[in-house]
Each structure stands twice: as structure tokens, then as C-alpha cells.
Amino acid sequence: MMFQGIVLPARCAYLIGARSNDGLRRSVAEASTRWGGISEPIVAVRANGSVDGLWRQVVEVTQVQCGRFMPR
């Protein structure tokens, strides 16, 4: 009997401040090293900690498994 499997890294969402240019740059750089940046959304978080409905849907559709906060 033979087993075959594929090991892939977890799919993450990068959480950045809504107006953080540095957070965006860092997120793009890091996401590009994993999966070529594909299917790892960069999500804007407002100053009060809320996330707009569209970004919540993006996270759900892409089946994100973890979140990573990218400080300024």
C-alpha cells in the first residue's frame, strides 16, 4: 500500500492599518515569498479595529487559516 500526500503552508491574511503604506509594503513583500502572493489577501483594519464587510467576504472565500498583523 502506498500513500501520497501534499504538504502546503497555511494560507494567511495580512492585516494592516487602513492607511499604513509601510504595512502594505511589508505585506506584499512577505506574501510574495509564500504562494507567490496568490490567495493571501491583505486586509485593511480601521483604527477602531473593525474590518469592512467586503474584506470579511474575501477572507471567507479564500479560506484563510491564519491572520498576521503587520505593524507600521
For residue 35, tell me if it sits in a domain: yes
- The answer to the question of residue 33 being in a domain is yes
* Range of the structural domain that residue 40 is part of: 12-69
What is the tens place of the pLDDT at every residue in 3-56?
Answer: 887 777 778 999 999 999 999 999 999 888 877 777 789 999 999 999 999 999
The reply to whether the predicted model has a pTM over 0.85 is no
Q: Residue 7: inside a domain, yes or no?
A: no
HEC states along the chain? CCCCCCCCCCCEEEEEECCCHHHHHHHHHHHHHCHHHCCCCEEEECCCCCCCHHHHHHHHHCCCCEEEECCC
Is 2 inside any structural domain? no
Provide the pLDDT for residue 53.
96
Q: How many domains does the chain have?
A: 1
**What pLDDT is attached to residue 31?**
87
